[in-house]
Chain A
Amino acid sequence: MSQAPHLLSSAQMARFVARGFLRFDAVVPDDINAQFMAEAGEVAEPKPGERLMKTYGQALAANAIPEVSAGTPLSQTYPEGSAISRLLDLPLVRGALQSLLGDDPVFDHHFLHITFPPAYHAASGGESVSQHTHQDSTIDPRQAFDVQVMYYPHKVTRPMGGTRFIPGTHLRKVSEVALGRYQNIRGQQHMVCEAGTLLFLHHGIWHGGGVNLSDRTRYMFKIRMHASGSQVRRWDVEPIEPRAPQRPIFYVKTPSDPESVAAILMTPEPWFEQDTGRLEFVNRVKLWRYLSGDPSFDADYWMTRLEAEGAPA
């Protein structure tokens, strides 16, 4: 029988709202990682003159990961006992997904990302390059959000590249790879991690695959899913009751609790522009209002100031 899900705390939810990701290192047991690698299968050795996409296509066709229709209930997506089914049944994973998406998430798509070492590119006449930074799917003006789970089934070293992502970019409304010219952004992170690491991403976060300069093929499995119902207050909400009063701003003598929702939401990223960084704060407050179901929530008075109306004349 499955254990109860480990729901996220208010501080974890606030971090997801502020930064667009939650990272859990080495939380998937080794036996599931080994099972997944067996199900993903081996990639053929590089052959001179053979197109890399052909090698990739053969690897995808031969593995044991199922082809699944978009819109399938997540609970019906993977065969019972398969590595991903077991992963989705982990209390941490069920708790995170329930906290972020509510009950009964719906499968959108999945993909086995394989990043090849230089020998494969040399054999096919190509170059080893990283993927341009992008936001997945297309322009998405919703307040609701999808979640993408990225699963790293084996250890990833820095020479192997790893997924690159830029914390806090998820609330920007951009058009897929239109932002590809941004090669490096202050605060960018690279997924160098142990086997069994999971990344839960807001669908809007800017990211890209890092170039693999090692001699080992790199695997990452991604699952995108969306809510089937309300996303309001699905986490362990008790610690946010009652709502904290507004804290002093600008002229501050006493540091506030760094684990408070307000402090987390008001923490800037290194890449913030000086003016639009304030718009990021406003948009974080709006997303917290959406998730908490509290239309009057505010942090550091950003929304209260904007919503203040003078007395009627």
Chain B
Amino acid sequence: MTRQKVLVLYLANSALDAPTIAWAVYDGTGEKLHMAGDSEEVPYATGLAALKDGWRLFQASQLNPHARGEEFDIAYLKYEFWFEQLVEVTP
């Protein structure tokens, strides 16, 4: 049977080859429990580097226009890319 591993990369702009600024990993195989603050080294320098290592991109954040009057409001990280790997596991 297969299980999903998910990698979320936050990049410095909307290009997939932009530098990684934040990241998260969720391992559906249960092999490793990833959590907040557990790593200081970026897993991939860019999104493109993750593609080259076999991760499949399945979602990218949209580019939205800036509402008038709210142009300088900043909130969540803008450039979010979701990747997956499907991993065979032994029942």
On A, residues with C-beta under 8 Å from B are: 127, 129-133, 164, 171-174, 178-186, 188, 190, 208, 210-211, 270-276, 279-280, 282-283, 286
Contacts and interface: CB of A to CB of B under 8 A. Distances in A.
Contacts, number: 92
Interface in B9-25: 10, 12-13, 18, 20-25
**Which 5 pairs, one residue from A and one from B, show the smallest C-beta to C-beta distance?**
A183-B24, A185-B22, A164-B37, A130-B36, A271-B21
Nearest to B8: A181
Given A183-B25, A273-B12, A274-B12, 14 more contacts: A130-B36, A132-B36, A164-B36, A178-B76, A182-B24, A184-B39, A188-B40, A211-B38, A273-B77, A273-B78, A274-B18, A276-B78, A283-B74, A286-B72
Interface in B52-91: 72-79
Contacts of A270: 21
A16 to B, nearest CB: 18
B1 interface: no
Given A127-B33, A130-B36, A164-B37, A279 B25 contact: no
Interface of B: 8, 10, 12-13, 18, 20-25, 33-40, 42, 72-79
**Per DSSP, are chain A's interface residues mostly helix, strand or loop, or mixed?**
loop
Contacts of B73: 173
29 contacts: A130-B35, A130-B36, A130-B37, A131-B36, A164-B37, A180-B36, A181-B24, A182-B10, A182-B22, A182-B24, A182-B77, A183-B24, A183-B36, A183-B38, A184-B24, A184-B36, A186-B21, A186-B22, A208-B37, A211-B38, A270-B21, A271-B21, A272-B12, A273-B12, A273-B21, A279-B72, A279-B74, A283-B72, A283-B74
